[in-house]
Structure 1
Amino acid sequence: MSEAHDQASSSLAPASISPPGADPLSDVLRSIRLTGALFFVVDASSPWCVDIPRAKSFAEIILPGARQIISYHVVVEGRGHAGVPGSPAVEIGPGDIVVFPHGDPYTMLSEPGTPPELGPAETMDFFRDLAAGRLPFVIPEGGGAPPPAKFICGFLGCDLSPFNPLLANLPRLLHIRRSAAGEADLLDRLIELTLEESRRERAGGASIRLGLSELMFVEALRRHLSATDGGGCGWLSGLADPGVGRALSLIHADPARGWTLAALAQEAGLSRSVLAARFAATVGETPMHYLALWRMHVAGRYLRDGVKVAAVAREVGYASEAAFSRAFKKFIGLSPAAWHAAER
């Protein structure tokens, strides 16, 4: 294989090739190139309301080149409501997290019916000032009356194409409630670190805060995963099912292997019929269709790094460049060369 291919394979190995029993969540998080864009604290007084437009309208301002913007908010104190157009708003309280994974417009407010403090043009100016560092880390919001509210806001960029299993089945608004036990946990420590950073301006503070933003989002996903009993539908629900989670780990550990349903079921410790039924019910795809999609995702990483199509075909388990190209076009809608050109 070419030197370029060897270098690309080495750089991508942690994201695409892991030993059996690997952690698929970490694998996907690495492969989608999660990147912190904005991270700040809102110190609100009543009444308050923020009306965030569709992420595409401000993506180039906060993270140029990002294919997808994810936003999330952690309630530190106080209460409020959050909603997306066309769906009922949810009530949020201390310790709750709301995630908007698909870039939808959304509203967060103290009480239903509260008008937004900023209009559309002022909101865009707000994002420009945030991205340029012209605003403090702690931003006041609202009308100045009690009760107060405080929440941590994170905006992240990630890759969508050619396949993002993490986001594919998440709802437009994901509401993660605080654990009923209420004991201190990792999220509390991350919040404490964030608030500590907000009190002191130190060299490297912006980098620390963006790192905290990514960690906080991953912890939110882990909370959602721990609260999932496998009865829902989506990739995280698949991870929560022991048998399906094992099958996902096997696929991620060796996507180039000539998997059959029988071989995958045997190594996952299930019968073919049980694996097929549980995989479809949780992940929303058949095991073989998911394998093909994940191969396309891995292939996309290699193609993006300039690896030759023939070498990519071998890396993801296809016997010939032609067979891989046909499969890629079937699933992605473009030939590998056309997709690579579009990505560049």
Structure 2
Amino acid sequence: MRGDPLAGLLEGPRARGALMIRACFDPPWSVRVEDRAPLTVMLMVRGEGWVVPDDGERIRLAAGDLAIARGPDSYTCADAPGTPPQALILPGGQCAYPDGRLLNGSMDLGVRAWGDRLDGSTVVLIGTYLMQGEISGRLLDALPPLLSLGAEEWPCPLTPILMEEIARDEPGQEVVLDRLLDLLVIAALRAWFSRPEAAAPAWYRALADPVVGRVLRLVQDDPAHPWTVASLATKAGVSRAALARRFTDLVGEPPMTHLTGWRLALAADHLRTTEDTIGAIARQVGYGSAFALSSAFKRVYGVSPQEYRVGVGSGMGVGVG
């Protein structure tokens, strides 16, 4: 991923046992989502509907359109903005009536299908990352609470594959769907970030600057190097003061603060995806010892690296990485 900041940003999604269903409805229909999931993808396969956030602009989805909602904010999916909710989606994939009574499977339609009837006039594929540790915190920070892509600007090649796979009941289906969900999210966000109006993060926009962009790439490509403001300024061909001022203006934080955040984000990813020791991870991300990494990590994440690893492994979703 050297020199490819978008790849570095999108490398994060790693679904594990994600919730993925076909929602099948006939109008009028409305579902209130209060599951606080970090990221949910909604792909309209047939019919049309609306995604109505508690705050912000509502989005209409036609067949082929896609929406991505970033938690923990709640929102409503419905055939029309004014349709009252008929069901609630709660944390852990639990479903209830609006009065709080559990649905107890009354809307289940078979393998990973839910709603009124399988041949309903509206079909939505929904994929939900259940734990915050499955998504890079840098990715989540880069996204608005709700975004959408129209079918005319991004025809999704994965729709027929997802529709076929989600109806299977075979060994390994969950892993296949997890990987397909990751591919769907990465492809969609790559298309979204390429749009001029996409609100990419400040550090991403700053990559276009000839000075700050070079420094950002140096830090991203070799985080373990013992960088200082002076050494980065030398590489960029400017003075320390000029770099510090320009970097802070464009990125929103000083160079060393950004470097620390990047190193700790990488450490969190290593804790989540490898069995490397804390000392080995420390060396990979630029800390001289396990103690140095642990001190910095706890200061930012509120838990030690070991507590973070245990929490993510147990499904508690500790930290954001």
TM-score after normalising by structure 1: 0.68
Shift of 1:189: 1.4
Question: Which of 224, 229, 254 in structure 2 is aligned with 1:256?
Answer: 224
Say yes or no: does 1:331 pair with 2:312.
no
Matched, 1:33 2:1: no
Structure 1 residues 31 and 99: alpha-carbon distance in aligned structure 2, compared to 1, 3 A threshold: closer
Question: Shift of the alpha carbon at 1:162?
Answer: 11
Q: Give the whole-Å Cα distance in 1 for the aligned partners of 2:235 and 2:106.
A: 53
Shift of 1:155: 1.1
- Deviation of residue 108 (structure 1)? 0.5
Structure 1 residue aligned with 2:30? 49
- State the match for 1:9 in structure 2: none
Distance 1:94 1:237 in 2: 32
**Is 1:123 matched with 2:95?**
yes
Residue in 2 that maps onto 1:227: 195
Q: Which moved more, 1:324-333 or 1:261-270?
A: 261-270
Q: Percent identity?
A: 28
CA change 1:193–1:341 in 2 (3 A) is closer
Higher helix share: 1
Cα contact 2:112–2:166 (8 A) shared by 1 = yes
Structure 1: tracts of 5 or more residues without a match: 1-17, 56-67
**Match of 1:193, SS?**
helix
Gaps in structure 2 of 5+ consecutive residues: 97-101, 314-321
Offset of 1:239 from its aligned partner? Answer: 8.0
Report what 2:256 is aligned to: 288
Let me know the Cα RMSD of the aligned residues: 4.1
3-state SS of 1:296 partner: helix
| Equivalent pair of 1:226/1:240 in contact (CA under 8 Å) | no
Q: Deviations over 1:63-101 (max 9, x none)?
A: xxxxx6421101234332212224443333333322122
Q: 1:259-314 deviations in whole A, cap 9, x for unaligned?
A: 2346546657897254443222xxxx443222101211233345565655544443
Q: Is the 8 A contact 2:22 2:125 kept in 1?
A: yes
2:264 match: secondary structure: helix
Alignment of 1:1-344 (within 5 A): 20-21=2-3, 23-31=4-12, 33-35=14-16, 37-55=18-36, 69-118=38-87, 123-124=95-96, 135-141=110-116, 148-160=121-133, 164-173=137-146, 175-178=147-150, 182=152, 187-197=155-165, 204-228=172-196, 232=199, 234=201, 237-238=204-205, 241=208, 247-261=215-229, 263-264=231-232, 272=243, 273-280=245-252, 285-302=253-270, 307-320=276-289, 323-336=292-305
Q: CA deviation at 1:114?
A: 0.9
Separation in structure 1 between the aligned mates of residue 135 and residue 157 of structure 2, nearest angstrom: 35
Q: Secondary structure at the match of 1:46?
A: coil
How far apart are residue 107 of structure 1 and its match?
0.7
Contact (CA 8 Å) 1:276, 1:287: kept in 2 or not?
Answer: yes
Q: Does structure 2 conserve the Cα–Cα contact (< 8 Å) formed by 1:225 and 1:237?
A: no
Relative to the length of structure 2, the TM-score reads: 0.72
